[in-house]
Amino acid sequence: MIGMLAACLTTFGFLPQVIKVIKTKDTGAISLGMYSMTVLGIGLWLVHGIMIRDFPLIFANAISLLFSSIILIYKIKYR
């Protein structure tokens, strides 16, 4: 149960940041280094989840990858 709650919070935790960058186009304080590493890391978690056929890991990281990639794209576009 705690693991599920943790997964939901860390997965959907990106959503407020996605909404904020889409609304404000302000990405000045956001670190490009962080989101480059985070998107790559989450991508590898997704590959790892597919390799071990672990559905929660695949599901959580597919959503996190979507959200964190949006933030990364906005950071690159609106530096």
In the complex, least distance from residue 77 CB atom to its own copies, rounded to whole angstroms: 13
Query: Footprint of its own copies on this chain (CB under 8 A)?
Result: 2-3, 5-17, 19-21, 24, 26-35, 37-38, 40-45, 47-48, 51
Closer residue to its own copies in complex, CB, 19/66: 19
In the complex, least distance from residue 57 CB atom to its own copies, rounded to whole angstroms: 9
CA atoms within 13 A on the CB side of 78: 14
CA dihedral (33, 35, 40, 42) positive or negative: positive
In the complex, least distance from residue 74 CB atom to its own copies, rounded to whole angstroms: 10
* DSSP track, 44-71: HHHHHHHHTT-HHHHHHHHHHHHHHHHH
